[in-house]
Amino acid sequence: MTFGQAIALALLQGVSELFPVSSLGHTILVPALLHWQNVQRSSPSFLAFVVVLHLGTALALIAYYRDEWYAIARALIASVVRGRLSDDRSERIGWRLVVGTIPVGILGVIFEAPVRRLFGSPAPAAIFLLINGLVMFAGEALRRRQHASGQRYKPIEDLSYPASVLIGVAQGLALLPGISRSGISMVAGLLFDLDHENAAHYSFLLATPVILAAGLLEIPKLLVPEAHVVLVEGVAGGIAAGIAAYLSVAFLMRYFRSNDLRPFGWYCVVVGAISFFLARKGIIT
Amino acid sequence: MRVIALILAVVFFVLGILYGWGKINFFTESGAAHTHHITHLVICWVLALLCLIWARFQSTPTRSVR
């Protein structure tokens, strides 16, 4: 992997991890589209590189929501010490994040390896990207139907615990390359009466521990001798992914104040369909 | 509920040890590197910790504070 490829992949990861367009799908499809034969996704050096990108993205999310994470951590510790739940907003959000993260973790541990083995090629990634777009259209349509009768939106802290679990399960579907972590959990949040801004906010908070854990648990991959080959690329890539992720979350939080998921749905449908066509024709492999 | 939470905590803790030791391989990639079992160990211990927190909430009056 060249330095230029490393930076390009890092920027792609940082942006596509948070935009509802699937980072996993893009990191399969883009190298295939550009015929980067030297980027071997299963090589130890590439896996180590991906770990650093995840850590960069997670740290960017923590930095963006630093005050909120501090308040949540304080509130959670206080409630455990007290042994009782309170109506504190940060505590309520914190426990919902804990409950929502459990299914993602369990699904990830059980299904990550077989899913990667079965679907880690361009054609399935293209199909799932197309499905991701259709899910966003369906989610938007259902949300509009739900709220046509004047039903009010909820704040994040009023989500029920079952709803938090189901949003977590939805996020677990992002193991499938092409299904977006933020997109699918935003759609689930919309269906549980969050507005777009709160659905995006909750989705990014819920993604943070998952992305961070994905990076931390894979740190041993950084210790293999082959990983040292990409040391410079890894450090530069981690910083680039972090900057891209920070700017992406800042942009998206402004975007979702007054916009919806449909432009991303169109993007996923069009890119997914074209990529599937190219994969079927053998143009990308 | 408190007893169930404590039993689950012990079960997850022991499962974590068995994964870390390499004695069990459920839900692991066949022929996987050692790191994959460490992942299972960590997940099991996190679940054990959450069960202990659940037990902690069961051991005090349920009335919420404002």
Greater model confidence, A220 or A279: A279
What DSSP element (H or E) covers A137? helix A122-147
**What's the total number of domains in chain A?**
1
* In a domain? residue A285: no
pLDDT digits (tens, 9 = 90+) for B22-35: 877 777 765 555 55
| Closest Cα in chain A, distance from residue B59 (Å) | 7
Nearest CB neighbour to A83, from listed B40, B46, B57: B57
- The SS3 call for residue B65 is strand
Contact B39 A109 (CB under 8 A): yes
Q: Which residues contact A90 (CB under 8 A, 6 or more apart)?
A: A68, A71, A72, A74, A75
* ipTM beyond cut 0.90: no
* In a domain? residue A28: yes
The confidence band for B62, taking pLDDT boundaries of 50, 70 and 90, is: low
Which tokens is B16 given? 């974590």
Residue B49 has pLDDT above 80, yes or no: yes
Please check whether residue B39 touches A, CB under 8 A. yes
For position B34, what pLDDT does the model report? 54
* In a domain? residue A139: yes
Question: Across residues A217-231, what is the average pLDDT?
Answer: 75
Task: State percent of chain A over pLDDT 70.
Answer: 99
CB A61 within 8 A of CB A241: no
Residue A229 has pLDDT above 90, yes or no: no
How long, in residues, is chain B?
A: 66
Please check whether residue B18 touches A, CB under 8 A. no
- Range of A76's domain? 3-280
For position B23, what pLDDT does the model report? 79
pLDDT digits (tens, 9 = 90+) for A118-133: 877 888 889 999 999 9
The confidence band for A241, taking pLDDT boundaries of 50, 70 and 90, is: very high
Output the CA torsion sign for A125, A269, A169, A49.
positive
Helix, strand, coil abundance in chain A, percent, nearest 5: 80, 0, 20
pTM, to two decimals: 0.87
* In a domain? residue A103: yes
pLDDT digits (tens, 9 = 90+) for A5-40: 889 999 999 999 899 988 878 888 888 888 887 777
Mean pLDDT of chain A: 89
For position A97, what pLDDT does the model report? 96
Which residues in chain A have Cβ-Cβ distances shorter than 8 Å to B30?
A: none
* In a domain? residue A87: yes
Greater model confidence, A32 or A44: A32
A195-198: list long-range contacts, CB under 8 Å, 24+ apart. A195/A153, A196/A256, A196/A257, A196/A259, A196/A260, A196/A261, A197/A253, A197/A256, A197/A257, A198/A153, A198/A154, A198/A155, A198/A156
